Structures are given as C-alpha cells and as structure tokens.
C-alpha cells in the first residue's frame, strides 16, 4: 500500500526566510522578536506536499530546486510545526535528515497572505486525515458486528393487506364470481347496495298507437252476429247458407233488374 501512494503538492510559496533560533529556555512559546529578522540565514522556496497521511515541508533552492531541508509532519497542530507568540507570519518547524537527526529552525514569510495559505493547507490535509480515520474505524466496527438475517425462514409466510382484501403470500388466488355469458363480475363493495334502474314511464306515442278492440257482445242469434262483425273474412260469409243471410232479399231485388240504369237521387244506394 505504501508503494501505491503518490505525492501531491498542497502549497508552494516562492519566498521564505530561514532563521537559526536560540534554544527554548522556558515553557513559554517562541517569540520572533528574539530572532535576527533583518538577517535571515537562508532564503529559498517552500513547498508543502503530502504522501498518504503524512505532510512534508520542503525548503528548496529557488533556481535549481535542490532540497535544503525537510520537515515531516504527522500531526497539526503539534510539535513538528508551532506558531510564535508575537506574530502570525513566523513559525518554528522541526527538520529531520535521513539519519534521524532533528533540529528546530524558524521560517517567516514577507507577505501575511502567504503565511495564511501555508497554515490553511496543513489544516485541510489533517482534517481529511481525521475523516479517513473515522470512516475506516466505522467500517471495521461494522464488519465485527453480527449481521442481521432478514430472510424468511422455512415455512414462514407474510400477510399483505390491500384495501379490504386480505391475501396470503404463496397461497392460491381467490376465485372471482362469474356471471352469465362467461363475464367475470366483481363482488359488490361491503355495506353498499346495488341500485335498481328505474323503469321509464310509457310514452304518449306508444299509448296513442295502442288501440283496445271493442268488447264483443254476445246475443241469442250467434250466427248472424258473427257474420256482421267479421268484416275481415268475406270468404267465410260467402260460404254461409242462404237461409241465414238476412240481407239476401236486397241482393235478389238488385239482380232482377240488371239493365236498369242507376237513378240519381239523394238516397244512399245499398
């Protein structure tokens, strides 16, 4: 994992002054006024990089880029980087070489904005380190916790309530009521009544077209009444015997004078 880590640049400042500082004589903080600020011991370029969770303050030559000193930082704020008590533009850093030797030197920026950027770059890096540590710790705790088994056991079922219908998961579906003609009809809603459609009143046209036949009056002479009332069957009347024809005398009298011209009168001819 260490071989896969790459180095990223967090901040670059072209002008930085380096001072030799006197050893600390008490527990009070460092003071930049004790240094020879007008005569820095070295001037060059500062570059802040990070590799993994460790940040590095590198002091390099402005022209060639040769490394002058390097300060690895594992924690900020911490002993590797400290601010002075009387200024925000000066810091004390702990440099180390490859043999394990270390020394404390003072660095300072001419511009106050450069000092602010240097401070913020270190704060952002270690804020990210803190978040990564918390995330990894939570993932490890989640792996050690017993996992919940939310699956169904053998033979276990569940009931689902959909409106007023209750069905059982895995069971047979409830058959529907089939009406006439093969159509499937749903049952009526609970508590409801099926409204019977009202019968429309008969229209006036249908009443006018409907003619009730007059009642037939029965008499003692049934044969003569049937002949007079049965107007739609002339053939049946012709087949009746001559003795039963009440109007036969009128027919005979008219046939006895065939050549007589019809007389015009106001009487209706039978």
CATH number of 7-139: 2.30.29.30
pLDDT at 270: 47
Domains in the chain: boundaries? 7-139
Per-residue pLDDT tens for 196-235? 566 666 555 545 455 555 555 554 444 444 544 444 445 4
Sign of the C-alpha dihedral, residues 24, 30, 33, 36? Answer: positive
What's this model's pTM, rounded to 2 decimal places? 0.51
Those residues with Cβ within 8 angstroms of residue 194's Cβ, 6 or more apart along the chain or in another chain: 188
pLDDT at 115: 94
pLDDT at 158: 81
Q: Is 226 exposed, middle or buried (0-12, 13-18, 19+ CB in 10 A)?
A: middle
pLDDT at 162: 82
Separation of CA 19 from chain center: 64
pLDDT > 90 fraction of the chain, expressed in percent and rounded? 32
pLDDT at 137: 80
Angle at 54 between CA 51 and CA 55, to 5 degrees: 85
Round to whole Å and give the CA distance between 162 and 169.
12
Per-residue pLDDT tens for 133-185? 888 888 777 667 677 777 777 878 888 888 765 555 555 555 555 545 555 56
Those residues with Cβ within 8 angstroms of residue 171's Cβ, 6 or more apart along the chain or in another chain: 157
Per-residue pLDDT tens for 24-79? 877 778 889 889 899 999 999 999 999 988 999 999 999 898 999 999 999 888 88
Per-residue confidence at 4, pLDDT binned at 50, 70, 90?
Answer: low
Angle at 69 between CA 2 and CA 88, to 5 degrees: 105
Per-residue confidence at 16, pLDDT binned at 50, 70, 90?
Answer: very high
| CA distance to 14, 42, 67, 68, per residue, from 64 (Å) | 13, 15, 9, 11
Longest dimension (CA), the chain: 177
pLDDT at 257: 46
pLDDT at 225: 47
Cβ atoms within 10 Å, residue 43: 12
Give the position of tokens 């450069």.
114
Greater pLDDT, 82 or 222: 82
pLDDT at 28: 79
């Amino acid at each position: 994992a260490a071989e896969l880590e790459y180095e990223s640049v967090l901040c670059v400042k072209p002008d930085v002054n380096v001072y030799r500082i006197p050893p600390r004589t008490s527990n009070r903080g460092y003071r930049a006024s004790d240094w020879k600020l007008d005569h820095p011991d070295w001037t060059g370029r500062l570059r802040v990089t990070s590799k993994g969770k460790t940040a590095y303050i590198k002091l390099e030559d402005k022209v060639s880029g040769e490394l002058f000193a390097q300060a690895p930082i594992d924690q900020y704020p911490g002993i590797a980087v400290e601010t002075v008590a009387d200024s925000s533009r000066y810091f004390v850093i702990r440099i180390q070489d490859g043999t394990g030797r270390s020394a404390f030197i003072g660095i300072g920026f001419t511009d106050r904005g450069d000092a602010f950027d240097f401070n913020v770059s270190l704060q952002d890096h270690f804020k990210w380190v803190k978040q990564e540590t918390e995330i990894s710790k939570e993932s490890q705790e989640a792996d050690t916790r017993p996992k919940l088994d939310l699956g169904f056991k053998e033979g276990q079922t569940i009931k689902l309530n959909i409106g007023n219908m209750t069905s059982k998961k895995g069971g047979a579906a409830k058959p529907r009521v089939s009406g006439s003609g093969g159509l499937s009809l749903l049952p009526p809603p609970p508590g409801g009544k099926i409204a019977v459609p009202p019968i429309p009143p008969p229209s006036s046209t249908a009443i006018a077209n409907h003619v009730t036949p007059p009642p037939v009056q029965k008499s003692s002479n049934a044969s003569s009444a049937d002949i007079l009332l049965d107007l739609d069957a002339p053939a049946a009347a012709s087949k009746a015997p001559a003795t039963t024809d009440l109007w036969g005398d009128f027919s005979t009298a008219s046939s006895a004078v065939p050549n007589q011209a019809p007389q015009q009168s106001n009487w209706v001819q039978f």
